[in-house]
Amino acid sequence: MDVSGRWRKVSRSECSAPYPELLELEPGGRYTGWNETPSAFHPLWDRGGWEPAEPGRLRISLANDAVRDYGVESAGDALVFDDGEGCRIEYTRA
């Protein structure tokens, strides 16, 4: 599954608010996340690393330097993360 590229968040749920509006996943395993509009939240994914953890999961470093595994689905221009606590964070290719 190729998830590299620039992604724009389409989720507007309360649980998705801490995640960045824009996410750039580089092929080498680095990422940058940022918000275009003012937000009460610093993005949970701001800058760090990512890697496949196992089939259907990505391991992502967080803004506080913790590392967390997320379920991930990719189909066409859609990328969906599942935080394992009932929140789905949906992105589309930017």
Which amino acid makes up residue 76? G
The pLDDT, as a whole number, for residue 9 is 98
Domains and CATH numbers, the chain: 5-93 (2.40.128.490)
Q: Across the chain, what does the average pLDDT equal?
A: 95
| CA distance linking residue 49 with residue 46, whole number of Å | 10
- Does residue 1 surpass a pLDDT of 90? no
Burial class (CB in 10 A: 0-12, 13-18, 19+), 60: buried
Output the pLDDT for position 58: 97
pLDDT band with cut points at 50, 70 and 90 for residue 29? very high
Per-residue pLDDT band at 61 (split at 50, 70, 90): very high
Residues 6+ apart with CB under 8 A from 76: none
Task: Label residue 2 by pLDDT band (50, 70, 90).
Answer: confident
Amino acid at 55: P
pLDDT at residue 64 in the model: 95
pLDDT at 93 over 80: yes
Nearest to 89 by CA among 44, 37, 32: 44
